[in-house]
Amino acid sequence: MKQPNTPASVWSVRIVLGLAGTALIGYGLLGLPTQLGPAQLLGLLTWMAFAILLHDGVIVPLLTLTGAGLTRTGSRLGPVSAAILRGALMTGAAVSLIAGLLLKAQSEARNISALEGNYAEHLLWFWAALAAAAAVAIYAFERAGRPRPPTGARPPGRAGSGKGERRQNTRP
Amino acid sequence: MQGPHPQKLTAALAAKFASPTRSTRLTVVLGRWLALTFTICFLTGLFSHGLQNPPSWMFFPTNPVWIYQLCQGLHVTAGIASIPLMLAKLWSVYPELLVWPPIKSVRHGLERASIALFIASSLLQLTTGLINTYKWYPWPFPFRETHYWLAWVIWGSLLLHIAVKLPAIMANWNGRAVRRAEQQGPERGPASEGTAAAAAVGMPGTGVAPGRWSRRAFLTGVGVSTGAVVLTTAGQSFSWLSPLNVFAPRVMGTGPQSVPVNRTAAEAKVADLATSGEWSLAVTYRGNSTTFDLAGLRALPQHQEELPIACVEGWSQTAHWSGVRIRDLIGAVGAPPDSALRVTSLEPEGPYRLMSMPAEYVQDERTLVALELNGAILDVQHGYPARIIAPGRPGVLQTKWLQTVEVL
C-alpha cells in the first residue's frame, strides 16, 4: 500500500493546494478593481503597507524589549512563576488592544445602543483582577518552591542554595 | 569608508530578536489554530455574502431560526480570536524577516512576496473587520467590498502558504514525535532551534532558560489571551456568554424595547414619514395595488413568534415579535404563498431601501410583518409602524419602516 506521505503524494497535494491558492488570490485581486476606484485602491495599498510597517517596525520591537525586561525580572522567579507573569501580561496586552480600539471608536463615532459601555472602567477592573490572580498564583508557586526550614538535624551533605533547590522543585 | 556588511547587520539584528521559545513546532501549532479561525471566518463570510447577494444557486435555510445568528456570531468571534493568534504566529517567525540576502532566487522572491501579501491583507482584514463592528470607518475605501475581495486573497494565500510549507508542517505536526526528536539531539529535531538555544543557556532538567518560558507555556499564554478576548466579547452574539460581555460594542437587552438598533430613524431620514397618521402599506399583485393602514393590518390574524434579529456585525438579540404572517398578507390580495417579494422601505435612499425576499421566507409561517416587539407597539427605531422579521436572515434584510410589498 502506498504511504500517504510519500514524496509523490505530498507533491501532488502541494501542487493542488498551490494552484488553488494562486487561483483564489488572483480572483480576489482581480475582483478588487471591479468595485474600488483608483484612489480607493491606492488608499487600500497605503493602509496595507502601514499595517506591515506598524507591526514589523513598532509592535514586534516593543514586544521584544518587553520580553528582554521580563527575562531579567523572571530570572529571579521559578519557571512556573515566570511563565505566569508573561502569560498575564500577554493576556492583558491582548485585551487592552481590543479595548483600546473600542475607546478610540467611542470617541470618534457614537451610535444609539452601540459603544455604550464604560470600557475604560472595565479595562481597569480587568487589569486589577488579572494582576491579583497572577500575584496570588506567583506567590503560591514561589512559596511552594521555597526550601523548607529544617525541622531537625540537617542531613549530611545537604547544604543547598535556596534558589537552586527551588528551581529543581518547581518544574513546569 | 566601507560600512558593515548587510548580512552582518541583519545577523546582529536577528540575534537581538532571537528567542529560544521560537521553533518550527510552535509556528505549526499556532498556524493550525489560525488556519481554523481563518477558515471559519471565510466560510461564514461567504454564507452571509450569499444571503445578501444571492447567486442563482443560493439556498436559503430558515431552520434553525438562529442559523444566521450562529453564522455571524462565529464569524466575528473567530475574527476576534484571530487577532492574538495572528500576532503570536507572526512573532514566532519574525527572524525570517531579517534573513540576508532578502531574495535568494526567483522562487524565494515569489514566496516572500506572497507572504507579504498574506500578512498585509490579514492584518488589515482583522483590524478593519473589528473596527467595522464599532461602526467607525476611518479608511478611504469601501468596507464591505474590500472585506469580501480580501477574504479570497487571504484564504487563497493560506492555501498557497500551506503548499509551500507542507514538508515543515508535516515534520512538526505530531508533538510527541517532535519532542522525541528534540530529546535525541538538537541537530536531529525538526523543531530544535528553540530547544537548542534553551539548552545552551538553560536550566538542567527543564529545558527552559531562566526567566523565559517553554513552548508549551507560551502556547498556554496564547490560548489564555485568545480565550480572554473571546469570552469578554462573544456575549454580544451568544446569550450564555452575555454576563461576561465587557468589551463588545453591543450588549444584549439594551436599546429601545430591550433590543439594540443598527440604523436609526434619524440616520434613515424616516422619522416624519413613519410617524405620519397617513401611513399605509401598499401590497401589489399582478398590477393591482391594495393598501392596508395600521388598523387594517391589525384586523388581519395576528401571530407571535420568538425570533432572533442578527446583525452582520455579529450582535444579535432574540425577541418576541407579533404581527401578520407575510403569507397571510399576500394571501389577502390573492397571491400564492410560494411567491417571491420585493419590499420597499420608507427610507428615501440607502443600499437596503429595496429588499428581495425569496419564496423560502414567504412560505415560512414565522415570517411576519411585525407590528409589536416584546409586547409593545414597535418603537420608531425598530421600524414603526411595520417591519419585516424572518427566520435566519441578516438584520439588514429585516426591512424596517415598510412602504410597499410587491409580489413578483
* Cβ partners under 8 Å of residue B253, min gap 6: B242, B317
A102 touches B at CB < 8 Å: yes
B261 CA: distance to closest CA in chain A (Å):
6
Work out how many CB contacts closer than 8 A connect A with B. Answer: 257
Residue with cell 468596507: B143
Among A residues 127-166, those touching chain B with beta carbons less than 8 Å apart: none
Nearest CA to A84 among A125, A164, A145?
A145
Domain ranges of chain B: 6-244, 258-407
Interface pTM, i.e. ipTM: 0.89
* Residue A29: closest C-alpha in chain B: B153
Residue B278 carries which DSSP code? T
Over residues A54-101, the pLDDT tens digits come to 999 999 999 988 988 888 888 888 889 999 999 999 999 999 999 999
| pLDDT at residue A6, rounded to an integer | 60
Pair (A84, A71) in one structural domain: no
- Is residue A85 assigned to a domain? yes
Number of domains into which chain A is organized: 2
Please check whether residues A135 and A85 belong to one and the same domain: yes
Q: Is CATH 3.40.50.300 the right assignment for the domain spanning B258-407?
A: no
Residues A120 and A93 occupy one common structural domain: yes
Cβ–Cβ of A25/B256 closer than 8 Å? no
User: Residue A4 domain-assigned?
Assistant: no
A55 and A96 in a single domain? The answer is no
Determine the Cα–Cα distance for residues B113 and B382; give it in Å rounded to an integer. 48
Q: C-alpha grid cell for residue B260?
A: 439594540
Residues A98 and A59 in one domain: no
Question: What is B221-263 written as a DSSP string?
Answer: HHHHHHHHHHHTTGGGT-GGGGGG-SSSS--TT-SGGG---SS
Same domain, yes or no: A91 and A130: yes
The answer on A134 and A82 residing in a single domain is yes
CB contacts, 8 Å: B91 with chain A: 60, 63
pLDDT in tens, B138-165: 999 999 999 999 999 999 999 999 999 9
Q: What is the DSSP letter of B301?
A: P
Shared domain check, A128 and A99:
yes
A133 and A85 belong to one structural domain: yes
| Contacting residues for B50 by C-beta, under 8 A, at least 6 apart | B58
Of residues B85, B14, B22, B18, the one with CA closest to residue B215: B22
Is position A2 within any domain? no
Which residues are bridge partners to B375 per DSSP? none
* Residue found by looking up cell 438584520 in the block: B395
CB nearest to B217's CB, from A22, A31, A83: A83
A107 and A70, same structural domain?
no
pLDDT tens for each residue of B186-233: 544 444 444 444 333 334 444 677 778 889 999 999 999 999 999 999
In a domain, A104, yes or no: yes
Query: What rounded mean pLDDT belongs to chain A?
Result: 84
**Positive or negative torsion for Cα B223, B224, B228, B231:** positive
Does some domain include residue A163?
A: no
In a domain, A14, yes or no: no
B 131-150 near A (Cβ less than 8 A): 131, 134-142, 145-146, 148-150
- Whole-number pLDDT of residue B374: 97
Per the listing, cell 446583525 goes with B311
Domain-embedded: residue A7? no
Range of the domain at A63: 41-76
pLDDT tens digits along B280-337: 999 999 999 999 999 999 999 999 999 999 999 999 999 999 999 999 999 999 999 9
E strands, B42-181, are: none
Angstrom distance (rounded) from CA A111 to CA A103: 14
Verify that A135 and A81 share a domain, yes or no: yes
Tell me which amino acid residue B134 is. Y
Specify if A131 maps to a domain: yes
Q: Is the pLDDT of residue A5 over 60?
A: no
Q: Which residue has the cell 475604560?
A: A120
Q: Residue B205: which of A83, A101, A168 has the nearest Cβ?
A: A168
Its pTM stands at 0.89
C-alpha cell at position B52: 445578501
Q: Is any Cβ of chain B less than 8 angstroms from the Cβ of A44?
A: yes
Nearest by CB to A63, from B91, B141, B264: name it.
B91
- A91 and A108 co-located in one domain: yes
What's the alpha-carbon Rg for chain B, to the nearest Å?
27
